Amino acid sequence: MANTRSATNMTAIADALGVSAATVSNALSGKGRVSPELAEKIRAKAEEMGYVPSQTARALRTGRSGVFGLVLPDIANPLFPRIAQAIEHAAATAGYGVLIADSRGDSAAQTLAIQRLLERDVDGIVIVPRFGTRITDLGCPVSVIDSPSTPGNTVSADHWQGGQLIADHLLSLGHRHFAFVGHTPLSNVQGDRIGGMKSRLPKDARFETMWIDRIEAERGRGCPLGVKDLVARGITAFAATNDLHALRVLTELQQAGVKVPEDVSVTGFDDLVWSSVVTPGLTTVKQDMAAIADIAVGALIDVIEAGPQDAPVAENASGTAPKRAVAVGRADRVAMSLVERQTTGPAAGPAGGPARAQANNFPGDDAGAHSTSSLTQPLRRNEP
């Protein structure tokens, strides 16, 4: 049976005021020739009678659903519900609802999620893409939240600048021997964060890059990362590309009897909800989620309201702008901020002196060259 609630209510409003249903419709939609006095009277009566406009009817009239899609790479990751909340708030403020889809870290699932949202006639889609995937023309306006180095990115946190904040903080504490901990080199976000850290290192600094996916491919999922051995080699600071990796490092160090921050320092990224309550509290950097969401949603609305011909869009790989491509935000990056807690402290070494890394005891260390068969990148000087 068809739902006639809205039509009945509109007719009831018209009967109560002695006007036509068309006049009521024009007054409530702000269209047609209705005097301001009568329009106000109609709106007051509609509110009194509990009138609820039909979104289906509005969509048929305007060609818009009033709904955005949001595709996230992994809702189980504590970071992404925070992004969802920020996007929903920005969309609601602009008068839009949000449908959320989870790609579960799978590129095929991401494609399917996008297709299902398109089938529901969403007005636009905000996508936080799975690493290693690129979003192009989907046939509707799209905002991409990934990293400034990602082609077609709309807006994101300034991950490179965030990495610089971490490096500057650790350097100010006297650290010169670092282990950078990421999950995969395929991620632009992680690559930018580590790149930002490296960019601030002086020539006397040395570092090693650990990729967890390579370690687990060799030793099994959830295996020890071997951080105690790195401490023995002279590493004094572990800088992880997210708080989850930092927690894993922190837990392994504590189980091995390594004191944090007395013996080594640990930092993360993203300031997840538990980062302030673990012991010791995790030093990290945080994203301005509200600003990122406002820019992403605003760019989407700009494309929708401008129409396909005049909308600002990012060029595709061929250098041309597709009819309905990735929206361009008023800024492509938002600064991150340092949150200093208890996992970072002054660099320590034998007898309280500066820590020294053993630069030459890494098998296969060919003048710092990276070996794709190794689990980590060897410790090396920070030289051009």
CATH number of 58's domain:
1.10.260.40
Q: Which of 6-15, 79-88, 196-205, 278-287 has the lowest mean pLDDT?
A: 6-15
Whether residue 324 is contained in a domain is answered as no
Q: What is the mean pLDDT of residues 123-147?
A: 79
Whether residue 326 is contained in a domain is answered as no
pLDDT in tens, 263-314: 999 999 999 999 999 999 999 999 999 999 999 999 888 888 876 554 444 4
- Residues 270 and 186 occupy one common structural domain: yes
Whether residue 131 is contained in a domain is answered as yes
- Residues 181 and 280 occupy one common structural domain: yes
- Residues 231 and 363 occupy one common structural domain: yes
Six token digits for residue 41: 């009277």
Whether residue 14 is contained in a domain is answered as yes
Whether residue 318 is contained in a domain is answered as no
- Quote the pTM value: 0.73
- Residues 142 and 163 occupy one common structural domain: no
- Residues 75 and 213 occupy one common structural domain: no
- Of the chain, the percentage scoring pLDDT greater than 90 comes to 46
Q: What is the CATH number of the domain that holds 128?
A: 3.40.50.2300
pLDDT in tens, 320-332: 444 445 678 777 8
Token pair 């295996």 in the structure block, residue = 223
pLDDT in tens, 232-246: 999 999 999 999 999
- Residues 57 and 186 occupy one common structural domain: no
- At residue 375, the pLDDT reads 47
pLDDT in tens, 65-78: 688 999 998 888 88
- Residues 261 and 166 occupy one common structural domain: yes
Six token digits for residue 259: 């004191």
Task: Print the domain residue range for 368.
Answer: 159-286+349-381
Q: 154 pLDDT band (50/70/90 cuts)?
A: confident
pLDDT in tens, 182-228: 999 988 899 999 999 999 999 999 999 999 999 999 999 999 999 99
Whether residue 36 is contained in a domain is answered as yes
Q: What is the mean pLDDT of residues 250-262?
A: 96
- Residues 137 and 81 occupy one common structural domain: yes
Question: Is the predicted pLDDT of residue 376 greater than 80, yes or no?
Answer: no
- Residues 212 and 149 occupy one common structural domain: no
Q: Which of 240, 274, 306 is the last residue of a domain?
A: 306
- Residues 99 and 204 occupy one common structural domain: no
Whether residue 282 is contained in a domain is answered as yes
- At residue 325, the pLDDT reads 57
- At residue 6, the pLDDT reads 46
- Residues 174 and 236 occupy one common structural domain: yes
Domain count for the chain, please give it.
3
- Residues 275 and 166 occupy one common structural domain: yes
CA distance 154 to 147: 9
Q: What is the mean pLDDT of residues 127-135?
A: 75
Give the chain's length.
384
Question: How is the beta sheet containing 237-240 ordered, strand by strand?
Answer: 265-267, 237-240, 177-182, 206-211, 376-381
pLDDT in tens, 156-191: 999 999 999 999 999 999 999 999 999 999 888 999
Q: Which of 44, 62, 80 is the last residue of a domain?
A: 62
